Chains A and B, each alone.
Chain A
Amino acid sequence: MSGMLNKEESKSRFDKIADDLIRPMTKNDGLSLQIWIFLLVTVLSLFGYAYFLQLRDGLGVTGLHDYASWGMYISNFVFFVASSLVGMLITAVLGLIGIKWITPIARIAEIVAVAFAMMAGLVIVFDMGRPDRLLNVFIYGRLQSPIVWDLTVVTSYTIISLLLLILPLIPDLAIIKRRLPNAPKWQLLLWNILSFGFVGTPAQYKSIHKMVRVLSILIVPVALAIHTVTSWLFASTLRHGWDSTIFGPYFVSGAFVAGVAWVILAMYFFRHQYNLKAYLHDEVFDKVGKLLVLVSLVYLYFNINEFLVPAYKMKAGDDHHILTLFTGSWAGLFWFSQIFGNILPIILLLFKRMRKPGYMFTIALLVIMGAWIKRYIIVVPTQLHPHLPIQNVPEAFHVYTPTGPEIAITLGTIGMAILIMTILAKIFPVISIWETAEEAGVDHETINQ
């Protein structure tokens, strides 16, 4: 691709790329966007009403009780943290080892990461019995508590992900600023601020590369920490099913599966909605499909460890827990998440013809459903199998049934994450213009004309 291009060629090639990638930002999406936004707003208003009820009447509006005191909200929190981890996998791990095909999906991954990381910080608030006392965590924070560690790493990860989203955007925004001089004032102002005075000098390029490189290294331990600490919220307790030493890597490997599935969904969506078939082409899908197989295999390995070893021993307490998952009341959800969220993608995506956008979209959707259910299965059944019998409480305390408001709030938070992604994808180009151009052999001078 690189070779020597003359000025003309270079210019026309760059114009094509820039036009293609900027078009979605200016294009009037008309009805489809309106319907999309309307849908999200509806979900959000339902969320608003449900949360109002919860604030007024307490967490009692949910199906939670003393023997299942963490439910959908915490499952959802773990799911969000998991989904956000893909930013680290793609930009940092694959980026650092110099894999080229990630260029068109790096920003999508970062957008997914930022949206879910931000929401992860927010959703814990919805689970709090006294959200009005949120500040207590800062006033009386106790370093021994994994919650404090979790808040610290979620905050750090969000900041680093935001920086990793913004840094590669700087040259793009400088380009857009020049190419769309008639954009609304607020947009111009935003681009102006976020391009940080970038004009394309070699020193500026060098500086950006250096910053991205440093952050890419930094985000690896931070990302591992965010999900490991999240797993410690469970693994640090003495309960059957949570009392596990491999929870950290088990969660991290599961996170990559969910994250890659989200990226596939977003890729598919942008490919069609933003008409980016030439950039998010079949070959990228093929590669991402293989990536999903790889991360799913790692996850399968941890699943085998996590379930087979205790099932082999059948230690008192663990036995009941495991049997309800394998053959008891939780079997349906358990096997759904194992089969559709882990085994099936491995088998199907081994075949090249399944690694096509359409199939992969369906598979990714199933994987995400399986991933969400898996978190639910990690969080809820353990609490319903305590060390001592559940007695002298209402019959309903033996099970956990989420209520309407609870589901509305959960869907609302997912809606919010998707809304953040929608907005980010509307005000910024979803594929890096300058890096795509660079790979197409366009020189810096042309890019920054």
Chain B
Amino acid sequence: MCDTKENAGASRLDFLKSGLLAGAAAVTGVNLLSSFTPIETSSEQKVKVLTPDGHIVEVEEAKMVPVREIKQELGLTELQQRGREGIAGKHWVMVIDLAKCRNARKCMESCQNAHHLKPEQHHINVLQMQDGEHTAPYYMPKPCMHCDNTPCTKVCPVDATFKRQDGIVLIDNERCIGCRFCVAACPYSARVFNWTETLDEKNSYNAPYNIELNVPQKKGTISKCLFSADRLRENKLPYCVSACPNGTYWFGDMNEDAVTNGTTGETVRFSELIEKNDAYTLLPELGTKPNVYYLPAKDRQFPFDPEDKKKLNESHKH
């Protein structure tokens, strides 16, 4: 018998523990503040800042912590160390319900804002797909598949891109030599390169390098989808997942067999979701073992835009 609100000593429940270990709470706070980019000063007291998830908020100037002080508190290596280790016991997985996607591109937007990307750089890209001449077209968001047999980390000569224990494939832009072998190796075209000065360099944004956000971006290095590793540490869903207005994304931990919808907040069993909906992975014949699953675009909620269809047909003729 247990009474309301009473919690009979749960000793273990190891998978519920978030990545925030004792003492790391300070790190998160710092982390959040350090990701503020002042973009406009509107009045004497308040400053508009860009949050990591892409919202513009007003903050009282007096409450803002200057970035320089944070740098002293937190060394680069500590963030990198933490980022390279990953969260023990987790195996992140994403499920994308193609029937729900209407090409709203809120995911792309929030992702680009969070990772300070240029308009042509996509960690997640909503593609217009048509598998055959007579098959139905559909919209397909395409993040990094965070494969279990990663073609990209295989070829990296310096361990700059690597797979960590929770399955996320990260990139360390403090180590990357810019050889772009990983770009060539990725069959999903999931990687982008900073060919020229990055937005961060242009804006002289010099926060300590957060490997789990890959910000600040650096010229001559790779950037890629990180499953929003920084957010997962704070028990939050990835930027793209929570930005979707249409319930397209489910995200969770395969080890607890649960995925949560970014739009509705509903949590369901992962195994059940993919079984009931005949989920599949992208280009399975390549043997990359992706950790992103797709639910087929059956019974879709939004029709495919006729304009897009026309364009697709034209591209087929070429």
Contacts and interface: CB of A to CB of B under 8 A. Distances in A.
Q: Direct A–B touching in the complex (beta carbon < 8 Å)? A: yes
Interface of A: 57-60, 62, 64-67, 69-70, 124, 127-131, 133-134, 136-137, 139-142, 144-148, 151, 233-234, 236-239, 383, 386-394, 397
B283 interface: yes
A391 B127 CA distance: 6
A133 B183 contact: no
Q: Which of B128, B177, B315 has the most chain A CB atoms inside 10 A of its CB?
A: B177
A137 B177 contact: yes
Contact of A67 (B188, B189, B221): B189
Interface string B93-124: 00000000000000010000000000011100
Given A137-B158, A144-B154, 12 more contacts: A58-B195, A129-B193, A129-B194, A136-B160, A136-B175, A140-B159, A237-B151, A237-B187, A387-B187, A387-B286, A389-B128, A393-B122
A187 B178 CA distance: 41
Contacts of B126: 392
Contacts of B121: 66
Contacts of B179: 124, 127-129, 147
B191 A66 contact: yes
Contacts of A140: 158-160, 175
A330 to B, nearest CB: 14
17 contacts: A59-B178, A66-B120, A66-B191, A129-B219, A129-B221, A130-B178, A130-B221, A134-B177, A137-B177, A151-B157, A234-B184, A237-B185, A239-B184, A387-B189, A390-B189, A391-B127, A397-B120
Contacts of B120: 66, 392-394, 397
Contacts of B180: 69-70, 127, 129
A419 B69 CA distance: 53
A144 B181 CA distance: 13
B192 interface: yes
Contact of A58 (B122, B177, B196): B196
B193 A392 contact: no
A128 B178 contact: yes
A232 to B, nearest CB: 10
Contacts of A141: 157-158
A387 to B, nearest CB: 5
A139 B159 CA distance: 10
A66 B175 contact: no
Contacts of A127: 179-180
B156 interface: yes
Contacts, number: 145
Say what secondary structure dominates the interface of chain A: loop
A414 B2 CA distance: 81
A147 B220 contact: no
A134 B221 CA distance: 13
A129 B176 contact: yes
Nearest to B287: A238
Contacts of A397: 120
A128 B220 CA distance: 8
The 7 closest A-B pairs by CB, nearest first: A129-B178, A129-B220, A60-B196, A60-B195, A147-B157, A145-B157, A140-B158
Contact of B158 (A60, A124, A136, A146): A136
Nearest to A128: B178
A58 B122 CA distance: 19
A145 B150 CA distance: 13
B220 A130 contact: yes
Contacts of A130: 176-178, 220-221
A59 B220 CA distance: 7
B142 interface: yes
A406 to B, nearest CB: 12
Contacts of B125: 391-392
B184 to A, nearest CB: 5
B155 A145 contact: yes
A66 B151 contact: no
B40 interface: no
Interface of B: 108, 120-122, 125-129, 142, 151, 154-160, 175-181, 183-185, 187-189, 191-197, 219-221, 282-283, 286, 288, 315
A65 B181 contact: no
A42 to B, nearest CB: 28
Contact of A239 (B181, B187, B221): B187
Contacts of B185: 236-238
B158 A142 contact: yes
A331 to B, nearest CB: 15
A238 B286 contact: yes
B4 to A, nearest CB: 51
Contacts of A145: 154-158, 181
Contacts of A65: 195
Q: Which of B125, B151, B184 has the most chain A CB atoms inside 10 A of its CB?
A: B184
Nearest to A133: B177
A120 to B, nearest CB: 15
A144 B158 CA distance: 10
A133 B154 CA distance: 20
Contact of B155 (A62, A146, A389, A390): A146
A66 B188 CA distance: 12
Nearest to B128: A391
Given A57-B196, A57-B197, A129-B176, A69 B184 contact: yes
B157 A66 contact: no
A137 B176 contact: no
Contacts of A124: 179
A147 B176 CA distance: 14
Nearest to B180: A69
A127 to B, nearest CB: 7
B197 A58 contact: yes
Contact of A238 (B122, B128, B181, B187): B187
